[in-house]
Amino acid sequence: MPEQDFHELLEVLDLNRIDDDTFVGSHPSKNPPRTFGGQMMAQSFVAASRSLSRACAPASISAHFIAGGDPGKDLEFRVVRLRDERRFANRRIDVMQDGALLTTAMVSFVDGGRGLEHGIAAPDVPDPLSLPKIEEFLAGYEETVPQFVGALRPIEWRYTNDPAWVMRDKGGRLEHNRVWLKADGPMPEDPVLHAAALVYSSDTTVLDSIITTHGLSWGHDRIFAATVNHSVWFHRPIRFDDWLLYSTTSPVAADSRGLATGHVFDQSGQVVATVVQEGIIKHFPGAKR
């Protein structure tokens, strides 16, 4: 099943080009009730990248989610060319379905070259191969988090801490979440797809630190969550067939909104990407799911 899920992700990222600035994308066979935001972002990133006349390194993608998508229908990606220069390019991608705007994403590309370099230190965590697979954490929780058990899993996850639903069962709290990520299959030699797979994965665990800070969990507690906006900055080339550590925290939650930040490290400890996501988070105490 993981191998099939991985090939489905590659198929979803293989957009059908209608003309120079219009692409159509499909959904996988397993979906949440509304189109997964990470999927729309990853497909938008691919559309923007395929519209370039020459290869240019990605600098960032920032998406605002406006309406939910129907997983039973294809998505249309309309590219707006905002800038094309020797070392810079900018694109806006409007994600449409049945004439309605679902998401708009801004994607920037920069051939920066050599310059100053520094970065934060990677957290001290166990090696990914010494950690249990996600399936071991889901065993026994099939009725608690059925949305995770039945989800598409094209990415291999290795949590360095207990995931939210296990932590909640133990009565714990944690102000960070750290998980190793890697494609669950052989990636094509296409840097666009490696970066797109990271964009897709960046939307999988980023909000967890908001609720685990309060000792809460999906499935155990009645929580409503909806992503408002999501941004990824690329600092170095991405190899998603190697293990990457996704370390997230939540600096603030207020007014029914939570902010989550994350850094992605390669196995050498270098920061390869930074993620920020804002979501609407509502908890209904005393109410069970």
10-35 pLDDT, tens digit per residue, is: 999 999 999 999 999 999 999 999 99
The per-residue pLDDT of the chain, averaged, comes to: 94
- Is the full-model pTM beyond 0.85? yes
Domain ranges of the chain: 2-111+128-283
The answer, yes or no, to whether residue 233 has pLDDT greater than 70, is yes
**77 and 17 Cβ atoms separated by less than 8 Å:** no
Dihedral angle sign, alpha carbons of residues 184, 188, 194, 200 = negative
pLDDT digits (tens, 9 = 90+) for 91-117: 999 999 999 999 999 999 999 888 899
The answer, yes or no, to whether residue 288 has pLDDT greater than 70, is no
Q: Which amino acid makes up residue 267?
A: Q
The answer regarding whether domain 2-111+128-283 maps to CATH 2.40.160.210 reads yes
The answer, yes or no, to whether residue 287 has pLDDT greater than 70, is no
The answer, yes or no, to whether residue 2 has pLDDT greater than 90, is no
> What residue ranges in the chain does DSSP mark as E strands?
16-19, 22-25, 58-65, 75-84, 88-97, 100-110, 155-159, 176-183, 223-234, 244-254, 257-265, 271-283
Q: How confident is the model at residue 3 (pLDDT cuts 50, 70, 90)?
A: confident
Give the phi and the psi of residue 219 in degrees, each rounded to 5: 90, -50
The answer, yes or no, to whether residue 289 has pLDDT greater than 80, is no
The answer, yes or no, to whether residue 272 has pLDDT greater than 80, is yes
**91 and 51 Cβ atoms separated by less than 8 Å:** yes
Q: How confident is the model at residue 1 (pLDDT cuts 50, 70, 90)?
A: low
**227 and 65 Cβ atoms separated by less than 8 Å:** yes
Q: CA-to-CA distance for 115 and 94, rounded, in angstroms?
A: 33
pLDDT digits (tens, 9 = 90+) for 113-160: 888 999 999 999 999 999 999 999 999 999 999 989 999 999 999 999
pLDDT digits (tens, 9 = 90+) for 163-196: 999 999 899 999 999 999 999 999 999 999 999 9
Work out the burial of residue 287: count CB atoms within 10 Å of its CB; fewer than 13 is exposed, 13-18 middle, 19 or more buried. exposed
**241 and 194 Cβ atoms separated by less than 8 Å:** yes
Whole-number pLDDT of residue 109: 97
Mean pLDDT, range 61-76, rounded to an integer: 97
Mean pLDDT, range 263-269, rounded to an integer: 97
Q: Which of 255, 260, 133 is nearest to 204 (CA)?
A: 260
Whole-number pLDDT of residue 232: 98
Whole-number pLDDT of residue 168: 92
Mean pLDDT, range 41-47, rounded to an integer: 98
Whole-number pLDDT of residue 55: 86
Whole-number pLDDT of residue 246: 98
Whole-number pLDDT of residue 133: 93
